[in-house]
Amino acid sequence: MGLSITTPVVNYYEHATYLTVNHGHTALFGTYGILAIGLLLFSMRTLVRESGWDVRLLKVAFWGTNAGLASMFLLTLLPVGILQVLDNINNGFWHARSDAFWNREIIQFLGQVRLIPDTLIIIGAGAMVLFMLKAMMNLKPVTVQSGEAFS
């Protein structure tokens, strides 16, 4: 997505549209958010007892956040962005950001569809929070005392 929107002729028409928003959401959460969750789980794995490592919650978190992000990309932000760019080309930069564009029936419908991916992401994030609470209640005991050498 980032490569396609940075070419000068594309950027001229799509800048400040939902394609930019689409790129921002998927790049920030899809890259750095998922990477941060992976690093968190990697470090927590050695700190948590087996009984506190709930794979079911992790599956819900994984599928909820990833399916939510993918559906946000495909069902809402990308279609609105494409429609906005087409409106920009046909009617001008000002019109693609006006109430006339945002009050179109299809745009209002796509705004309502956004409830589906947002709900999936909230479910995934909630499962991750529950997982972390359960994991923090099942930490392994400390084996190295203060002042001891770690081997």
Q: Which residues of 72-98 are buried (b: 16+ CB within 10 A; e: fewer)?
A: bbeebbbbbbebbbebbeeeeeeebee
9 inside domain: yes
Q: Give the tens place of pLDDT for each residue, 1-56.
A: 666 666 666 666 677 788 888 888 888 988 899 999 999 999 999 999 999 999 99
Q: Give the tens place of pLDDT for each residue, 78-126.
A: 999 999 999 999 999 899 999 999 999 999 999 999 999 999 999 999 9
Residues 141 and 95: beta-carbon distance below 8 Å: no
20 inside domain: yes
75 inside domain: yes
144 inside domain: no
Averaged pLDDT of the chain: 90
Distance of CA 98 to the CA centre of its chain: 27
121 inside domain: yes
Contact partners, residue 150, CB within 8 Å, separation at least 6: 144
147 inside domain: no
Q: Give the tens place of pLDDT for each residue, 65-81.
A: 999 999 999 999 999 99
- Where in the sequence is the domain holding 16, given as residue range(s)? 2-136
| pLDDT value, residue 133 | 97
146 inside domain: no
Six-digit token string for 149 = 């050498």
Domain count along the chain: 1
